[in-house]
Each structure stands twice: as C-alpha cells, then as structure tokens.
Structure 1
C-alpha cells in the first residue's frame, strides 16, 4: 500500500517484484476513520501473504503510528495495528520515501548499487536511503528525509517547522509560487507541468525556477552522499518529469560543490518505476 495526501493506492506484487493488480482512491479530507475506511475498501477481499505499507511521514516505527503532514486526519494513528486487525496478516510499515528507494533498488534504476538515496520531487520532497544493500529506516523510520535539509537559511517557512528546506524551493507548488512572485503569468490552476512547458518554450522565469530548484536538490543530494558515503541518487516524482530542466542543474550543483574524492563518482539518474514505485517498494519490505 502507498498512502499519501493526494491518493491511497494498493496493489498485488509477486516475490519477483511484478505488479499484478492495482487500485487507487483519493485521500479523504475528513477524520481518521474516514481515511481508514477508504484504505480498507481498497484491500477488501484480498488475501495477501504479507503486507507492506509506505506512508507519508513522519511515522513512528516504534509505536507503529503515523502522523503525515499532508493527512491532517491522522495524528499518532495506529496504522500498523489497525491493518493487521483488518486482514490478520503481518504488516511492515515504512515511510513513502524509503519505499520509493527500496523499489528502485529492487527492480528499478538502483539495481546493482548497495548505497543510494531515492528522492521523490513532487507535491513535497521525500527520500529514503539504501545502505549496504538494505533499506535504512533509522531509529524511528524517518531516516532519509532529504526534503527537510536546509538549503537557504533565509528562505520561507516550511510546514515541518523549519525554514528554507529543499521542499520550500523544489516542490511543485513552491516552484509555481516562486515563479508567480517573479512575474510568471499563468491560469490559477497552473502547476509544475505547466511551468515546465513554459520553460521548454523559452520562458525565462520558468527556466530560472527549475534551475533554482535543481540546484537546491543537487546540494541536498551531495550533502547526503558526503554524510552516508553514497554512489547513486535516483530521482523520481512529478517534478522530475521535467527531465533536463531539473536534472541539468542538479548535476551542475554537484559538480560545483563536490570536494571530497569519495563522492566524485556520485551519479544522479531518473527513477524507472514511476507511479508504481510506492507500491512495489512497500512490497519489497516483506518480499525480501
């Protein structure tokens, strides 16, 4: 299962990493039981051997609870126990960023690499670490939260409580907000995809927005690689669909700031699994 602020998705995955079925529903905006009922409806009638759940964070692996920033109805919600009670099957819980990383390591762009970070650059910016060939959740399950590395200490406040985090610069909504503040004119419902289209047609403000975002992501990737001794970053999510508009400044920032020899071979590549990465990565938690 893949649970986020916009959608809840579930799917069946074989032990080899192949998706056999998929269901999805919008994430309700109501209270905790309304959100859980939507989740329960997706897996009604299924008989899995085991269940992996990737959920937006923060999470608490020790307590088995979740408090996603983008799902206000769930605060310290006992997700692991509730799903186990529902289907009488062992459940493994992880952050959605870790699931993305696990999926790409298992069946995507990270195959053959034992030390990597996976990033989702979308409505928010999330991430997860693979260390010595294994998903690395950290003490509480929140390791790899790369979106909340500070890249501009004079930047705007972040919903996490910090200021100037990568997410405030590179997430889709913040890309658009910055571009509008610089004079970009677009319909009220314009999103990062519209901004990317404008950049590809030569709009200077739109190009500057992606350059600014990519450099912020690149600095965060490099900082993570220096800290954890990584050799690969796999970047996915809706904003990453902009291709070189985002990847070129990511790579440029790394080249400009890299110093230590052990991270000079760091590679940044696009994710391969797309919208299914969360489900496949959640399955990887139990299939492996």
Structure 2
C-alpha cells in the first residue's frame, strides 16, 4: 500500500478524468472518495482533435508528477457526450473537434497501459451521488446535471446503470414539447432546449429581461434577477422547471425511481428552481407508483464528475462493482 507523507496510507487509488466543454479536470482519488491530487486545464473546445488531447495529456502529466501516481491502478473517465463506452470513443456536442475520437485508447497509452473505463458525464455524476451524495442508500434514482446542457444517469436495482454505450438516463433529450424548437441533438422539443442555462437565459432575454450594467446575460444573472422578484426571470425558471418535471415524471413512470437528484450550475439557483419543479412534478407525476417521488439538490458539487469517474475506475480496479451499491 502506498503511503502519503501528509495523510498516511492510501488505499484503492485510481485516476479520474472529468472532461467537459470548459475544463478538463483530473485527480487521484482513494477508495473513500477523497481527492488526493488535482490537476486542471481549460478545454480548447474549438481546436483540432489533437490539441484537445494534448490538454488531457497535460492533466495526466501533472498527476504523474505526484509520488502517488504509481499506486493508481485504473483510470475512469466521465466525458461530455455522446460517448460510446463499447467502442471507447467520444463525440461531445460541445467539443466539435472530437468526433468518434478514440479517447479510451489514447488515455490507456498515456497512462502506461492501465485499464480505462469510460462513461458519460451524467452517469459519472450519478455514480458520485449514489456513492457519496444525495442518492446514497437509494436503489432506484435519477440524477440530473442542469448546466450548459442537461444530462443524467440512472441507479436501478441498487446499481448505477450506464447502459451499453455509457449514456443511459440522458434525460436532456427526452421530448417534452412536440412542437418545440429544434435541438442541437437533431430532435425537437427536448428538455435541454428549454431547461439548460443558455436556453433559460435566452428565453428571459426574448421576453424582455435585460442584464444589469455589467452586461451579464447568463443563467446565473437571470437567477439573481429572479431572487429579486423580476417576473420575467421568474417565468423563465418556471418554464425550465416544467420541462424538467415532465422529463422526471416520464422517467419515473418508465423505471419506477423514488428520488431525483438535481445538480449543475442552474440548480445553484436553489428554490427559484426547486419550488416550481416540485409544484410541476405534482402535476405530471400522478400515478400511484410515482406520486411519492422526491426531488432534492445534489451534494457532491463541482467534484461530482471526478468522483463519478473514480467510481467507474473502481469497477475495473476493484472487482467489477460500483461503489455505493446496495448490499
């Protein structure tokens, strides 16, 4: 067992990567979910595929400089999607240079042949929340990331359910408005096209909300205005909450979840989002077996991607079972 001079013995260490359109984060994570070493680079999202990969390699090189690197037994990746865990490729909507990019093979090479497990970022967040967060102890759960996009993942029968390609539970592309606007996925009327941060802010602007003197037109700025009582900002959060509630209710009817955990930047608005979300859920989730569904904020915060990636790696390195599984 490796020993950290500062904190003592280190058990079950794995390498975790959290890859999104804004940042590429990496960490060495132990079996208790403690992050021992961190590294991060901005994502050169609009650059060529190899430029993006160099940023990943730079993060891994920073981690490799640690004395704990050699003790890490496997690698987990939570990536913006779509991902294809079966083929080991990624095609993130927000990283145009990566289309069917062979990320698993490239990371395996960069980490001296260590086993690599790939999941979508929504599944990673779900694994983190089931292991250490608000879904802990729940056998059937939906976890959502509501941010620049809307992603999600499922816990079914006490285990994280990534699906064959690592994308199961992608609630952002459930259709909730049959006549809705086109979505970046190629569909129409998706949850993401209504509830994601950029679309929520766009709706507020289109309906007459105006940014303050600093010109900030983000969803976070709309949230500030909503907390101050701005009716247009409040209506934008109400609409986003309705879309999320419809998607959550549809998921609950399909697979009988008992809790929905909501994280991501938009969820940081607090009760401005959660109050109308719970009200709308009462309208959509009416069947007897979904009526008691609860909605709660996520607990793992900005580390959710790294912790979930570590959980995925532990499946490879620790006997094939996700941490946090039901006994």
The interval holding the TM-score normalised by the smaller chain is over 0.9
**Counterpart secondary structure, 1:261:** coil
| Greater shift in the superposed pair: 193-202 or 44-53 | 44-53
Which secondary structure does the structure 2 equivalent of 1:233 belong to? strand
Corresponding residue of 1:16: 32
Aligned partners of 1:21, 1:243: CA distance in 2, in Å? 30
Counterpart for residue 186 of structure 1: 211
Residue 75 of structure 1 corresponds to which residue in structure 2? 99
Aligned match of 1:281: 308
Q: CA deviation at 1:258?
A: 2.0
1:57-96 equivalent positions in 2, closer than 5 A: 57-87=81-111, 88-96=113-121
Q: 1:108 maps to which residue? A: 133
Find the aligned partners of 1:15 and 1:57 in 2 and give their Cα distance. 26
CA contact (8 A) 2:245 2:284 kept: no
Query: 1:278 offset after TM fit, Å?
Result: 0.3
Q: C-alpha distance in 1, partners of 2:42/2:97?
A: 14
Structure 2 equivalent of residue 122 of structure 1: 147
Tell me the residue number matched to 1:207: 234
SS of structure 1 residue aligned to 2:182: coil
Distance 1:139 1:92 in 2: 13
Residue 185 of structure 2: aligned partner: 160
In structure 2, distance between residues paired with 1:21 and 1:143: 30
Per the alignment, in what secondary structure is the counterpart of residue 24 of structure 1?
Answer: strand
Q: Distance in 1 between matches of 2:59 and 2:144?
A: 26
Measured after TM superposition, the shift of residue 139 of structure 1 is: 2.1
**DSSP-derived class of the 2:289 partner:** helix
The 5 A counterparts of 1:183-262 are 183-186=208-211, 188-262=215-289
Tell me by how many angstroms 1:283 deviates.
Answer: 0.3
Name the counterpart of 2:23. 7
Aligned-partner Cα distance in 2 for 1:279–1:245: 27
Greater Rg by CA:
2
Q: In the aligned structure 2, how far is the partner of 1:120 from the partner of 1:57?
A: 13
- Looking at structure 2, the residues matched to 125 and 77 of structure 1 have their Cα atoms a distance apart, in angstroms, of 22
Given the two structures, how large is their TM-score scaled by the length of structure 2? Answer: 0.86
> Is 1:27 the counterpart of 2:27 in the alignment?
no
Q: Helix, strand or coil for the counterpart of 1:22?
A: strand
Out of 154, 161, 165, which is 1:140 matched to?
A: 165
41, 44, 58: which one aligns with 2:58: 41
1:249, 1:152 → 2: CA distance? 18
**What's the CA shift for 1:259?**
2.3
Give 1:286 shift.
2.3
- Secondary structure in 2 aligned to 1:123? coil
SS of 1:262 mapped into structure 2: coil
Moved more, 47-56 or 271-280: 47-56
Q: How far does the alpha carbon of each residue in 1:145-165 deviate from its partner, in whole angstroms, 9 at most, with x for none?
A: 100111112221110001111
Q: How many positions carry a matched residue from both structures?
A: 288
Gaps of 5+ in 1: none
CA distance in 2, matches of 1:122, 1:139: 25
**How much has 1:16 moved relative to structure 2?**
1.2
Please, what is the CA RMSD of the aligned residues?
Answer: 1.1
* Greater than 4 Å deviation, 4+ residue runs: none
Distance 1:22 1:134 in 2: 27
